[in-house]
Amino acid sequence: MKRRDHADLGAALFVLGLGVVAAWQASVVPVSPLYGQVGPKAVPYVVAAGLVLLGGLLTASALRGGWSRDIEELQEATPTNWRALGLLLAGLLANVALIGPFGFTAAATVQFALVAAAFGSRAHLRNLVIAFVVSLSAYALFVKLLGVNIGAGVVEALVFGAPE
């Protein structure tokens, strides 16, 4: 095995180990007898299973020669798109900066539009409209139906009224 293949195998085994740790931690989550069939362990077990599956596939790939070579060839063929990376970073920073003063919907709308632009979309107005509808729907789902506060702001106050 080459040095690069050892790195691939190490990364694969790390992901596999992470999945095993996630499964172990999911198994010790306390469950109230009030839960029917799907309780608080369901999602952690799904995540753990996904990590174990991914770790297993990565391990098999590493033992067959690794994936680093493919990544190196791809990097040589396609240069880094710094504009796209900058727009992605701007989207993350915008969300962090806007969610406190303006709320979830405004922050998520701006982030969505910047990420769409990073992926090459030029229909900025359409992106903003879709982002607004999806973000406001997500807010309504989390806050109004699930009772989880994800950050009310200006838009939420206008649409749903003053926070309770």
Q: Give the CA diameter of the chain.
A: 63
Residues 45 and 103 in one domain: no
Same domain for 68 and 30: yes
| Each residue's pLDDT tens digit, 134-156 | 999 998 888 878 777 787 888 88
49 and 114 together in one domain: no
State yes or no: pLDDT of 32 exceeds 90. no
User: Tokens 């109004």 sit at which residue?
Assistant: 144
Do 16 and 67 lie in one domain? The reply is: yes
Whether the pTM exceeds 0.75: the reply is no
Chain centroid, CA 27 distance in Å: 24
Q: What pLDDT digit, counting tens, does each position of 48-70 carry?
A: 999 999 999 999 988 888 776 66
Give the model confidence (pLDDT) of 75-91 as tens digits. 666 777 899 999 999 99
Number of domains in the chain: 2
**Would you state the pLDDT for residue 36?**
63
DSSP per residue, 90-134: HHHHHHHHHHHHH-HHHHHHHHHHHHHHHTT---HHHHHHHHHHH
- The answer to whether residues 117 and 72 belong to one domain is no
Give pLDDT, residue 72. 65
Residue numbers of the domain that contains 142: 82-160
Task: Tell me what the mean pLDDT of segment 14-35 comes to.
Answer: 87
Same domain, 12 and 59: yes
Q: Over the stretch 94-114, which tens digit does the pLDDT of each residue have? A: 999 999 999 999 999 999 999
